[in-house]
Structure 1
Amino acid sequence: MMENNMHTQSRRNFLKKTGLGMMALPAFEEIAAAISLPVYFTTGFKISEVTDRSAIFWTRLCRQEAPVPIRHSRREEVFRHPIDFDENQPVGNMDGAVAGASGFVRITLFNGRIQTFRSDWYTAAADDDYTVKIPIDNLKSGTNYRVEVEARASMKGASAYIGGSFRTAPDPRTPAAVNLVACTCQYFWSYDDKERGFKVYDSMRRLRPDCYVHTGDYVYYDKPGPLATTQEKARHKWHAMNSRPAIRDFCREVPIYMLKDDHDLLKNDVDPTAQPYGELSYADGMKIWTEQVALRGKPYRTYQWGKDLQIWLIEAREYRSNNDLPDGPGKTIWGDEQLTWFKETLATSTATFKLLISPTPIVGPDRDTKKDNHANKNFHTEGAWLRQYLSTVDQLFVVSGDRHWQYFSEDLETGLLEFGSGPVSDFHAQGWKPGDVRPEHRFLRVKGGFLQVRIFREEENPCIQFNHYDVDGNIVNTHTHYAYS
């Protein structure tokens, strides 16, 4: 109510100053609309959670056309922290800052020149960091759509536009080629292109992928520049990352699925019992995640891309036990609810290949000093059971995030295969010695890059191919598996 009164008083003051005090309010609104501040899509938009019939569109309205420029130099080492960064300066002055703006957003879809869908207007408000999520159903499978996102500061104001395109998933009954890419772990200050952000996004975009999975640590709350000890600073991390041109351009063309990990939520190795990080609580982290990521329903979900591929996107933070509890049958990362869902959906799957995509490793190997994933001794009981169970499922493979190196490994006990995508830049690669090749390793590279998963058929024989790429888009490892060999 106070905000409305302030707006009313502002209108009255404007009328007095301009000599329009006797003008009717509707006429004033038309004048106000004509001079209202513009809105921008500085932090881009995302086409999320695409299925063969639906999608969710996410965007955030912005007050400024470009982010605050990067002014600070970096330390020349892994995790290139900014030098002399003032953590207490106003957030609006920080490198990459983008102020939000109130307004209205709607989506229009076109198939060719034909308009096939137009949403209602959705409100962008401060309570949700000026973000908007628009779900769309009743789409056609395997169909190309052109996207037009429209925004206004007021319903009578001028419109701003941004466009993109995407293709829905193929019908689950139809054999179809699929090109999926995955990557993990991106700290703002580990960029490898000052103008574009991360080279890996331009390299992935050149492959024209059907979809992209970011497997977690999209931002780093507990790394400086700033340390996200408040909600305002945590949100800033998302604004700065999303405004990078390489990410913006990529997300206008490639549907995205996002998994969260510890640094997206609060701090390193976080679980639901975690104490606040400064003023930022676990509940705050969950609230901000729901603002910045377009989901509906549970955080774990499964989607089928044609007859030959089904993916499972796993949640590894919300249901886990405290990392420091003694290992045993009751200690879990997945939780009973998610595990029951996974077993039920896996049992009913008709897809040729099953791809389990996890924010944290299941096979590894990992460092002895780590303690928060299934490749660590702290979760050995559930990890050993899970590896054994997964190995009994025909044509199932694991894609993992979180580790800051690229790898392809085979569990020595069960034969389960796991592929680690690697981080988004070479500047972020660390944590494993390049020469430390373990018996599990079939490929190891302590550098940044991404993973491509291709589905195709050769003479009706379904095939899945895993390609590791470096940040410049060069293949550094390939593994191909045929369904009928």
Structure 2
Amino acid sequence: MSGTSPRRLSRRGFLGYTGIGAAAVIVGTGWSDEAAATPRLREYPFTLGVASGDPLPDGVVLWTRLALDPLAPDGAGGMPSRPVPVRYQVATDERFRRIVRAGHVLATPELGHSVHPEVTGLEPGREYFYRFMVGRDVSPVGRTRTAPAPGEMPGSTSFAIVSCQSYEAGYYTGFQHMAEEDLDLVVHLGDYIYEKSYVPEPILHDGTPMPDYLRTECFDLPRYRLQYALYKADPHLQAAHAMCPWLVTFDDHEVENNWLAGRSEVDDEPDQDPAVFAQRKADAFQAMYENLPLRHTQMPSGPNIRIHRRIGYGALADFTMLDGRQYRSERGRDDPSATMLGGAQRDWLVEGFSSSPARWQIIGNQQPMAQLDSNPDPAVETFAAAWDNYNVEREQVLTEAYERGVDNLVVVTGDRHSNYFMDLKADYSNPDSPVVGTEIVGTSIASNRDGADMLPVGENYLAANPHMKFCNFQRGYSRVTMTPDTLTNDFRVMPYISTPDAPISTRASYVVVDGVPGGVSV
């Protein structure tokens, strides 16, 4: 099995090996042979940390990836080309005096020696601690939390909004501060990695020059694996993962800048073979699965992956994570056939508005949904990479939310490397169109380097878009606190990331009141 080519091992191939039991071993979600011998490894294998994600009321998915030498140029992390048994434990206390779940999983070379055990049988709305073991080596301890029980209304829940973490652009001080917050979730909205360096002279986060082999663009599975290892070796990112469960989706840079559906950015070049980009997507998606706390239902099948999904958080909130890349058509602002989501995903999103009993509808979205006119001139000039170029579909989605009685629609968005707080309207050409929801656009962790509090373009945005209440261009993240009555967003920003240990502060706070679309400054 270790000789199977990773390129050809699709999700269907995994699940069709020899039945469900073998599939659980191969995809790293479970293993029943507790007596199997664990070979000792020559170095410490947990160099990329631990993580958890997609919490349910009775469980979470845990993650780690073994790597003896995480930046080994071949992308294999210095690991042997054979499976390695891994043990895991889940406890109610950080010292593991009361272990409530334990098991074995198999880290295979086919999945980059990553494991994704899906732990069940836990209590809802409770904090747990977890760790992994290989031989005598023990991983760092992670903290996670299960979702509240269906129908339960928590008094308060806090989560962070984060995106766009170009490693070369600066230090991960935002993650350093995030790891110190008391959060229940992190919602990551894409650009977890960048497929190449966008900085002329990149450095490693230890301050040394980046080796040449890490400056090349990612095109195949070994190189994508290496890029994830580069990012995940950062201790602040590891600490943020270990602090609470994450919900993740992707944007473009996990594969290639500005890709959509089956089209590469370079498809207009002569003799471009679509199969080449399909293989690149397959490799990129596999590396993403290997390096993030995703369930087996998010395992890619060749160049396809099901990343859109809905996570219930008791009666308080539903988190709906969208995919604005795989099904996106070419843009056409007022073209009724132009789509960001594709028909099936759009229908699934809209039906969720009617079926959900949750107080708050949180939509995890990659690119700004509210209209963003770039200047105050009479003509509307919008950005290519946004819902503004899928205007008809945006109107359909927001009208459906309004007509189906969604009182508390909050879209959280990444991509833009800026902080915005905006009202959502179905028809921005009509001043009397009602406000149907709120959009929080969170800035980048690192991309665009230090940034600034305000830029001239921001003054244009505020003048041209009366539904925009705030904008800012510093690095950081958003911290959101939900109660049954209010949702409060704090824009957490830093003055710089070009050097380590910048302080963090709350630049602005906005609150949305239950049943009142839009929000006000506090």
Q: Shorter-normalised TM-score: what interval?
A: 0.7 to 0.9
Pairing of 1:268-347 with structure 2 (within 5 A): 268-274=258-264, 275=267, 281-293=280-292, 294-297=294-297, 298-321=306-329, 323=330, 328-347=335-354
1:143 aligns with 126
How far does residue 444 in structure 1 lie from its aligned partner after superposition?
0.5
Matching of residue 91 in structure 1 with residue 73 in structure 2: yes
> Which amino acid counterpart does residue 509 of structure 2 have in structure 1?
T
Matching of residue 132 in structure 1 with residue 115 in structure 2: yes
The answer to which of 175-184 and 223-232 deviates more is 223-232
Classify the secondary structure of the residue corresponding to 1:119.
strand
The CA distance in 2 between the partners of 1:140 and 1:282, in whole Å, is 38
Q: Percent identity?
A: 19
Matching of residue 383 in structure 1 with residue 407 in structure 2: no
The CA distance in 1 between the partners of 2:434 and 2:87, in whole Å, is 50
1:289–1:373 Cα change, 3 Å: same
How far does residue 421 in structure 1 lie from its aligned partner after superposition?
0.8
1:270–1:429 Cα change, 3 Å: farther
Classify the secondary structure of the residue corresponding to 2:481.
strand
The CA distance in 2 between the partners of 1:440 and 1:329, in whole Å, is 24
Q: Which runs of 5+ in 2 are unaligned?
A: 5-35, 199-214, 268-273, 298-305, 375-380, 495-502, 517-522
Q: How many residues align?
A: 415
- Give the ranges of 4+ consecutive aligned residues of structure 1 lying more than 4 Å apart after TM superposition: 1-4, 275-280, 324-327, 366-369, 428-432
Q: Deviations over 1:324-349 (max 9, x none)?
A: 57862222111122122222222111
Give the greater-gyration-radius structure (CA): 1
2:413 aligns with 400
> Which amino acid counterpart does residue 382 of structure 1 have in structure 2?
E
How far does residue 50 in structure 1 lie from its aligned partner after superposition?
1.1
8 Å contact kept, 1:406–1:449: no
Q: Deviations over 1:458-478 (max 9, x none)?
A: xxxx22111111134311111
Q: Which runs of 5+ in 1 are unaligned?
A: 5-28, 69-89, 153-157, 193-197
1:342–1:278 Cα change, 3 Å: closer
Pairing of 1:258-273 with structure 2 (within 5 A): 258-273=248-263
Matching of residue 217 in structure 1 with residue 230 in structure 2: no
Pairing of 1:244-259 with structure 2 (within 5 A): 244-259=234-249
8 Å contact kept, 1:142–1:168: yes
> Which amino acid counterpart does residue 110 of structure 2 have in structure 1?
D
How far does residue 252 in structure 1 lie from its aligned partner after superposition?
1.1
Matching of residue 443 in structure 1 with residue 463 in structure 2: no
**Structure-2-length-normalised TM-score:** 0.73
Pairing of 1:157-196 with structure 2 (within 5 A): 158-176=136-154, 177-192=156-171
How far does residue 226 in structure 1 lie from its aligned partner after superposition?
2.9
8 Å contact kept, 1:108–1:147: yes
1:427 aligns with 449
Classify the secondary structure of the residue corresponding to 2:139.
strand
1:138–1:454 Cα change, 3 Å: same
8 Å contact kept, 2:331–2:338: no
Matching of residue 41 in structure 1 with residue 53 in structure 2: no
1:20 aligns with none
8 Å contact kept, 1:259–1:313: yes
The CA distance in 1 between the partners of 2:456 and 2:326, in whole Å, is 27
1:371 aligns with 384
Matching of residue 464 in structure 1 with residue 487 in structure 2: yes
The CA distance in 2 between the partners of 1:229 and 1:128, in whole Å, is 17
The CA distance in 2 between the partners of 1:366 and 1:189, in whole Å, is 30
8 Å contact kept, 1:53–1:139: yes
> Which amino acid counterpart does residue 179 of structure 1 have in structure 2?
S
1:7 aligns with none
How far does residue 315 in structure 1 lie from its aligned partner after superposition?
1.2
Q: Deviations over 1:206-247 (max 9, x none)?
A: 221000011000111143523213322222111111110001
Q: Deviations over 1:378-429 (max 9, x none)?
A: x222123223333442111111111111110124444232110110036165
The answer to which of 207-216 and 270-279 deviates more is 270-279
How far does residue 369 in structure 1 lie from its aligned partner after superposition?
6.8
2:87 aligns with 106
8 Å contact kept, 2:2–2:109: no
The CA distance in 1 between the partners of 2:79 and 2:401, in whole Å, is 45
Classify the secondary structure of the residue corresponding to 1:91.
coil
The CA distance in 1 between the partners of 2:507 and 2:235, in whole Å, is 26
- Counterpart of 1:243 (choices 233, 236, 256) is 233
Matching of residue 477 in structure 1 with residue 477 in structure 2: no
1:344–1:242 Cα change, 3 Å: same
1:161–1:452 Cα change, 3 Å: closer
Classify the secondary structure of the residue corresponding to 1:238.
helix
1:356 aligns with 363
**Structure-1-length-normalised TM-score:** 0.78
